[in-house]
Structure 1
Amino acid sequence: MTTGTTRAERPAAAPAVAPPAGTGRRGRGRRSDTTAGYLFLSPWLVGVMLLTAGPMVASLYLSFTDYNLFQAPEWVGLDNYVAMFSDERYLQSVGVTLVYVLLSTPLKLAAALGVALLLNSTRRGQSLYRAAFYAPSLIGASVSIAIVWRAMFSEDAVVDRVLSAVGIETGGWIANPDFATLVLVSLAVWQFGAPMVIFLAGLKQIPKELTEAAVMDGAGVWRRFRSITLPMLSPVIFFNLILEMIAAFQVFTSAYVVSSGSGVGGPAGSTSFYTIYLFQRAFKDFDMGYASAMAWVLVLAVGLITLLLFRTSRSWVHYGGDR
């Protein structure tokens, strides 16, 4: 007599569950869509690797070398970075750039916000006014407009004659170390069209009910601007501040062209911006290692300032979901 179970008494094996119809096809479809997506992205990915990431890695390596384009790079460690602290022209370029950033960025944003407030109200020819104020930004920091600016502020030019007519003698703004930087600041402020359009878009998002309620409570124009417009517009102000600050640190074309008549860097180095001195060290002195180190210091400085602005923005930037 056997004690084991017979084949008939054993439980039947669970039948295999077939996958839902179409599952395999959907999986293959997702893979093909992913492949197609990467194929469409491939030109951008190749461009990033060859034109952005690759040169950045190469410049980081060169910043630790002594390299003059004609000989193989020689590793020098941190010598390029240490040499900056004893380079008077480098320190001067840092000071000139900081003055330019601190003047041009807030003035440009103030002009953009002021014009945006004027254009926010409904009036005849509104589209024409908006296009006219935005037009200078379409030109950008081009060589042609910088040449025009240099001609306007040169000695015995239009601006000099107008000021002389009212008794103000400058002898030409570009040739004067006290005014050369202000010429470039005025050029930056004149091109306020891009932040103006962004401010206009932000003003359109402010609920009219808030302004109407404030008017009924007797709030004046300044009180409405300070208590409603600025807090509601603070994210847009912060966005424009970051963009314009980064652009101001990178100023090159306008400064190079405007100051070329009095020597690159302007009189007494008054327009020797960071990027101009970097250009001189790289393509005139052929000190590519030092120039690469300067570029990375600029990247780190702008990154730290941006991080600081983000940290401090928590106290004055108010988003719609804040409580």
Structure 2
Amino acid sequence: MAIAFGSRKASAGLPVPAALRSKRRRAAARTLAFLSPWLIGFGFFFVYPLVSTLYFSVTHYDGFTTPTFTGLKNWSYVFNDYPFFWQGLRNTLWLVVVMVSLRVVFGLGIGMLITKVKTGAGLFRTFFYLPYLAPPVAATMAFAFLLNPGTGPVNQLLGDLGLPAPGWFTDPSWSKPALTMLAMWGIGDLMVIFMAALLDVPKEQYEAAELDGAGPVQRFRYVTFPNISPIVMFAVVTGVIQTMQYYTQAIVAGKVASGVIGGSGQQFEPGYPQGSTWTLPQMVYNLGFQRFDYGSACVIALILFAISMAFTSILLRRKSGFMANED
């Protein structure tokens, strides 16, 4: 053994044969060939846009003239002089925390309920999934009609029951809860994902838990949740990323509530009512395509990217306390 070990140690200092080097190069070339579609897509659709955004964020660029370097003036303008930034940031963070949390809880609850249904499960699945297929603009306009404070059937029903009727999309304190209700109405995507995860939980674990005297809450805590925790984490992370891009529903709801639903020459106050539906993606559009200030728009885009990465990193770093520990 000592002789063999010594021979290997001595051979380690010898030059690598040309045949072995050629074999390694061929293996590396095959690996790069298989990775090339991903590398090309990653470079063109992530690295290049990110580097371009960083470059334009320190330049003055209106889309027509040559960009000119301005340093940190765009960053200073966004943080200090752009009147909608801080309110839009607060609105976006509110939607991320509240909307994502309620969507995950509601989607999981609906998924658990349907998996327990013995008769008509297919009908209930269709009933809850269909709203998710509705186009965002049409769904938002329909919701704005239902929640119309003057003529909407929801407030009429609340009035008949003797309950207070909120202003919904016309009230700054109720506009974001109304958008959250709209997001929960289209819960079909999360429902399907959670149903698939719930049906995959081994029945033997439920039977063992029942034999040990575990109640419904204990079975969920010690059997259901540990098995579906990776899916819950997936739903939370993707929900955060999607909500950071929240644009269509907020701007359509504001337009419908303010009475501006189309036509040229109509004035519209973004973020109606009183800036309560402003979101960071709306600011990217406002700065880049309405004011032609691409530098400041790129600053907002980078802030969105940084916040999304921060949320995702925090969630993944703390997954040991959120997901089941794997032995």
Once the two structures are superposed, the pairs formed by residues 163-202 of structure 1 within 5 Å of their partners are: 163-170=158-165, 172-202=167-197
Instruction: Tell me which residue corresponds to 2:229.
Output: 234
Q: 1:139 to 1:75 in 2, by over 3 A?
A: same
Q: Which runs of 5+ in 1 are unaligned?
A: 1-18, 20-29
Could you tell me whether the CA contact under 8 Å between 1:264 and 1:272 is conserved in 2? Answer: yes
Correspondence 1:312 to 2:318: yes
Instruction: Tell me which residue corresponds to 2:59.
Output: 65
TM-score, length of structure 2 as denominator length? 0.80
Could you tell me whether the CA contact under 8 Å between 1:265 and 1:271 is conserved in 2? Answer: yes
Q: 1:81 to 1:206 in 2, by over 3 A?
A: same
Instruction: Tell me which residue corresponds to 1:300.
Output: 306
Once the two structures are superposed, the pairs formed by residues 1-323 of structure 1 within 5 Å of their partners are: 53-86=47-80, 87-121=82-116, 123-139=118-134, 142-156=136-150, 157-170=152-165, 172-261=167-256, 262=258, 263-318=269-324, 321-322=326-327
Could you tell me whether the CA contact under 8 Å between 1:170 and 1:176 is conserved in 2? Answer: no
Could you tell me whether the CA contact under 8 Å between 2:240 and 2:311 is conserved in 1? Answer: no
- Rounded to whole Å, the distance in 2 between the matches of 1:37 and 1:46 is 11
Could you tell me whether the CA contact under 8 Å between 1:174 and 1:258 is conserved in 2? Answer: yes
Larger Rg: 1
Letter in 2 for 1:290: S
- Rounded to whole Å, the distance in 2 between the matches of 1:176 and 1:35 is 56
- Tell me the CA shift for residue 83 of structure 1: 2.8
Summarize deviations over 1:69-92 as a string: whole Å, max 9, x none. 232211112222233322441011
SS at 2:168 equivalent: coil
Q: 1:35 to 1:70 in 2, by over 3 A?
A: closer
Q: Which runs of 5+ in 2 are unaligned?
A: 1-18, 20-26, 259-268
Task: Decide which moves more: 290-299 or 82-91.
Answer: 82-91
- Rounded to whole Å, the distance in 1 between the matches of 2:276 and 2:78 is 19
- Tell me the CA shift for residue 217 of structure 1: 2.0
Q: 1:37 to 1:308 in 2, by over 3 A?
A: closer
Instruction: Tell me which residue corresponds to 2:12.
Output: none
- Rounded to whole Å, the distance in 2 between the matches of 1:46 and 1:219 is 53
Could you tell me whether the CA contact under 8 Å between 1:67 and 1:289 is conserved in 2? Answer: yes
SS at 1:272 equivalent: coil
Number of residue equivalences: 293
TM-score, length of structure 1 as denominator length? 0.81
Instruction: Tell me which residue corresponds to 2:8.
Output: none
- Rounded to whole Å, the distance in 2 between the matches of 1:36 and 1:270 is 50
Letter in 2 for 1:217: D
- Rounded to whole Å, the distance in 2 between the matches of 1:35 and 1:285 is 43
Could you tell me whether the CA contact under 8 Å between 1:108 and 1:190 is conserved in 2? Answer: no
- Rounded to whole Å, the distance in 1 between the matches of 2:73 and 2:201 is 53
- Give the fraction of aligned pairs with identical amino acids, expressed as a percent: 31
- Rounded to whole Å, the distance in 2 between the matches of 1:169 and 1:74 is 56
